[in-house]
Amino acid sequence: MKIFSIRIGWMAALTAAAGLSLAGCKKPPQVSPEPRFSAEQRESRFYYDLGAVEIDVGAYPKKRQDGYAVFARTCSQCHTLARPINAPFAERKDWERYIQRMRIRTKSRSGTGISKAEAAVVLDFLVYDSKIRKLDKKSEFAAKSEELRRLFEEVQKERERLRLAESEGKTQPPPPYTGDKPRP
Ligand code: HEC
């Protein structure tokens, strides 16, 4: 009886050891380092989604500041304000077209809406703001756009890399942040 139980003990130990070494083998190599970009950045659809999400309207006339408030409320219902703020569009005819397109979009997304009055205020605001930030400071705006385009390329590469890693079943959740050192 005693011998029997000792035997079982040995077998259990052996099985456990085998299990451990197997688990050791299965541990994936560190092929996917932590994502470099936030989930929000990785979801960006246009390079302009990656830029600033607000405008400093402190120096704008009161009427334009009021317009900004309407714009901020109306145009952040489905995407962030970064999209219109950093988009290359600056002319009235472009904004007319895009605002009209956004109004159509609200029909297929419940809980959203852009009234005629809001559309008119937003149009005036965007035309004014585009002149100040995009047309009058053309080279500055072009440089910022170029920076965002390069960043977008990196984000796309990262997205592809994560997609591949995931399809190979290699993604691992990032390790918990345990220290007070900033992440590299
Ligand atoms: C009902 C949801 C919704 C609202 C509200 C909305 N958008 Fe959009 N917007 C979208 C979607 C979806 C896209 C991407 C598809 C497309 O371009 O139509 C988009 C794309 C854009 C683009 C990029 C278009 C391109 O092709 O480069 C701009 C600029 C834009 N929106 C500006 C605005 C502005 C300005 C407002 C406020 C008047 C606004 N959006 C409100 C849904 C919305």
Q: Mean pLDDT over residues 117-123, rounded?
A: 98
Query: For residue 74, which atom of ligand 1 is closest to its CA?
Result: 37
> Does the pLDDT at position 112 exceed 60?
yes
Considering the domain boundaries, does residue 22 fall inside one? Answer: no
pLDDT band at 18 (very low <50, low <70, confident <90, very high): very low
Query: For residue 113, which atom of ligand 1 is closest to its CA?
Result: 5
Residue 79 CB–ligand 1 contact under 6 Å: yes
Considering the domain boundaries, does residue 128 fall inside one? Answer: yes
Q: What is the distance in A from the centroid of ligand 1 to the CA of 107?
A: 13
Considering the domain boundaries, does residue 173 fall inside one? Answer: no
pLDDT value at position 19? 45
> Does the pLDDT at position 135 exceed 60?
yes
Token pair in block for residue 162: 């994560």
Residue 81 CB–ligand 1 contact under 6 Å: no
How much of the chain, in percent, has pLDDT values that exceed 90? 65
Query: For residue 95, which atom of ligand 1 is closest to its CA?
Result: 35
- Cα dist. 91→88, 94, 124 in Å? 10, 5, 11
With residues binned 3-state (H G I as helix, E B as strand, rest as coil), the percentages for the chain, rounded to 5, are 65, 0, 35
Q: What is the pTM of this model?
A: 0.78
Residue 25 — φ and ψ, nearest 5°? Answer: -70, -35
> Does the pLDDT at position 1 exceed 80?
no
Query: For residue 122, which atom of ligand 1 is closest to its CA?
Result: 38
Considering the domain boundaries, does residue 18 fall inside one? Answer: no
> Does the pLDDT at position 53 exceed 60?
yes
Number of domains, the chain: 1
Question: Exposed, middle or buried by CB within 10 Å (0-12, 13-18, 19+), for 82?
Answer: buried
Give the three-class secondary structure for 140. helix
Question: Exposed, middle or buried by CB within 10 Å (0-12, 13-18, 19+), for 37?
Answer: middle
pLDDT band at 167 (very low <50, low <70, confident <90, very high): confident
Token pair in block for residue 41: 């950045």
Q: Mean pLDDT over residues 51-80, rounded?
A: 98
Residue 123 CB–ligand 1 contact under 6 Å: no
CA distance 32 to 18: 27
Token pair in block for residue 47: 């390079």
Considering the domain boundaries, does residue 120 fall inside one? Answer: yes
Considering the domain boundaries, does residue 17 fall inside one? Answer: no
Q: What is the distance in A from the centroid of ligand 1 to the CA of 166?
A: 30
Q: How many CB atoms lie within 10 A of CB 49?
A: 21
Considering the domain boundaries, does residue 23 fall inside one? Answer: no
pLDDT value at position 166? 84
Which DSSP category does 175 fall into? P
Instruction: Specify the residue with its C-alpha closest to ligand 1, atom 28.
Output: 84
Domain around 158: 39-167
Considering the domain boundaries, does residue 156 fall inside one? Answer: yes
